[in-house]
Each structure stands twice: as structure tokens, then as C-alpha cells.
Amino acid sequence: MVSRELVQGVYWVGALDFDRRLFDELIPLPEGTSYNSYLIRGSEKTALIDTVDPKKEEELIVNLIKLGIEQIDYIIINHAEQDHAGSLPMVLEMYPRAKVVTNEKCRDLLVALLQIDPGSVMVVKDGDTLSLGDRTLKFLLTPWTHWPETQLTFLVEDRILFPCDLFGFHQATSELYITDEAGAYRSAKRYYAEIMMPFRNSIKGYIQRVRDLNPAMIAPSHGPINKNPKFMLDAYEDWVSDNVKNVVVLPYVSMHGSTQKLVDHLVGALIERGVMVQPFNLTQTDIGELAFSLVDAATVVIGTPTVLFGPHPQVVSATYLANALKPKVRFASVIGSFGWGGKAAETLVKMLDHVKVEVLEPVVIKGLPDEAAILAINRLADEIAKKHKEIGIL
């Protein structure tokens, strides 16, 4: 479609995907996405950093042809996932003399996922550098910032960091750079929630390393380029910290209205006690928004009716996802209802094995909520407010 110059000799040559609405067949993409690939011309050698999703591989190739790139010496692969490495076979076909440059784990994944010839790969270790003549690339191995093979590449002279998925976000925009930091903060937090949150503790260890590089720009693999790295590094530092906020996230489903009444009452009771609350009716929830809210909430309360003898399957699905994303939530509970019996609360609590939560007494009632049920909800709200006070957030 188009290539754009960041600084003299460094180009964005990726693809914008305005129409994509779902990632991993799971997460909605309200703003589309982009697959950013970058070309760096040194005085001696030319390097390409990451590729694009294979459905856009022609755009990448056309961008390179339009720039008059006759030879690529190195193709740096920071991450083996197909939306970044997937066009590697095509690029290698076009530029057969190019060497793939990546770490050992990534090489093995490229062989497994894309059937790349391992002989075409030059393996680098943490801290290694690669000269392009008047420009130098430095590689930082940062395993488990999403996948086991994830690495960052730093263009030393221009101080541009290419961190692949880390610090990026899903957005297709004609802007090359972030122009709206408030919007970028929100989109990046959502991306962090969906992709990076399970690796919070690994990322914690890399932030200072990135700060020490003092990057002038962060050029990620999704979304616009960031000319104010401090803004994103500060945001990440907050998200990966152990600090939680005075917020209850309340995902729920109600079939015949009983659970809805409990939810409505709990929402009011929490607000009365000064606790912020974000209810999500799962039948109409964008799960990316649910993930977003889990980044720094202190408490999650799951609301479910009983289907046959257990929780509603849509609640099970959301609980499974929330548990897999490993948010830093401290407290959890379940509210819900049943007609004749079942083990909805026990089933959901057992699913929360990846999060370190203190479980507050669930409130699961028979039939339509009566006065006793409302009092039980008030007690749960009291307990949540008490816990939030104990950890100093209320």
C-alpha cells in the first residue's frame, strides 16, 4: 500500500488491516490492526525487521519493490507467530540470499511453524550485535513476553527499539506515530490485558533494561510508533506492578432475572460503600473489555444462574479466560441463583487455580432473591469494602 520513512534510511514497510475484527478467532479488534515490518539500510547491509501476516504478504513485497530494495542481507525475526513471521517464506523466496537472524528457540519455532530451513538461520544470543556498516543492531532476549522465544531488537545509533508485540496495540491508522496518547493508553492497556498479562512477572524484569537503552522511539509490530517511550514504559510499570485499584469486576449472565437482581443490588451496595464496580453482562460483552478491566481490579465477583447442575457455560468460558490471563486480582466471590440444586459456585471457584485470590463467601440463592438474599449481598459488599480498606485502596 505505502511505505514511510521514520528517519533517513529506516522505513515502515508493513501492512494496515482496517477490516480485521477478530484475532486468534477469539478477541475482537474494534480498531482493526496493523502488521509492522521495518526496513533498515546501513552503509554495508540492509535488514528487514519482522514481516507481516501472510494474508498481507503482497503488500510487504510491493513496498520493498517500490523502495527499490534489490537485496536484503538480514531478516530479523523477533517473534515466530504467524502474524509477524508468516510472510518469511515469501520474503525468502524473493530475497534468497537473505539470512534469517533470531534466537535459538525462535529458530526451532520457525522450523516447526513455517518449515523454514534451519540452515538459513543465523542464531544470536542475548546482547549480541550485528553491524550493517554505519548502523548496529543489538538483540535482547526477553523470553515470555508473550512467547518463549520473544526478543527485542535495538537500532543503536538511532535509538529505535523494535520490541515486536511488547508495547504495541491493535490499531489500523493512517497516522505513522501516536498522536492521541489517551487513546493509545487505552488501546495499549487492552492489548496488554489480552496478550501480555499472563507474563506480568517476566515483563517486570525487562522494563528497567529497556529504560537503560534510553530509546528515542518504540516501533512495535502492531499499531502506530511511539515517540514518547517514557509514557508507555510508565504505563507498563504500573500494569505489571502488584498495585491493585478499588474496583470490583462483575461478569455475569442471568437467564430469568434472579441473578440480575443480585447483580443490580450488589452494584448499588458497592457504590454506596465507595467501591467502584464494573458489571459485564456476558451475553453482550466484548471480552477484550472484560480483560482490560481485570488489569488492575482488586476483586472479581462472578454472577451465574444454574444450568442443569453447574454454572452457565458462557460464565464458564469467561472464567476460564480470566483465570488463564492471570490478573493480579486479590479477592474473588460468586453470586447466583438456582431452581432446584447444583454446584455452580464450587465449580467456578475451583476454576480459579491460576490466580492467587482469597475467596469471599459466595451468595447463591434459591429462586427469586428475598430479603435474606439481599442482606447476604449487603454482607458481601461489606466484606469487599473491608478487604479493600485492609489493603489501603479504600
Residues at the contact surface with other proteins, assessed by CB under 8 A: 143-144, 148, 199, 201-202, 353-354
- Indicate the helix (H) or strand (E) that contains 338: strand 331-338
**Least gap, CB of 41 to other proteins (angstroms):** 37
**Least gap, CB of 126 to other proteins (angstroms):** 13
Which grid cell is 171?
490499531
Q: Is 212 helix (H, G, I), strand (E, B) or coil?
A: helix
Which grid cell is 66?
517500490
**Least gap, CB of 356 to other proteins (angstroms):** 11
CA distance 379 to 81: 47
CA distance 96 to 98: 6
Closest CA to 279 of 296, 306, 299: 299
**Least gap, CB of 199 to other proteins (angstroms):** 7
CA distance 317 to 315: 5
- Residue 53 or 149: the one with the smaller Cβ distance to other proteins is 149
- Residue 145 or 226: the one with the smaller Cβ distance to other proteins is 145
Which grid cell is 265?
443490588
Closest CA to 90 of 121, 67, 58: 58
| SS3 per-residue string spanning 99-135 | EEEECHHHHHHHHHHHCCCHHHEEECCCCCEEECCCC
Bridge partners, residue 365, by sequence: 337
- Residue 173 or 323: the one with the smaller Cβ distance to other proteins is 323
- Residue 112 or 308: the one with the smaller Cβ distance to other proteins is 112
**Least gap, CB of 198 to other proteins (angstroms):** 8
**Least gap, CB of 44 to other proteins (angstroms):** 36
- Residue 273 or 354: the one with the smaller Cβ distance to other proteins is 354
- Residue 58 or 108: the one with the smaller Cβ distance to other proteins is 108
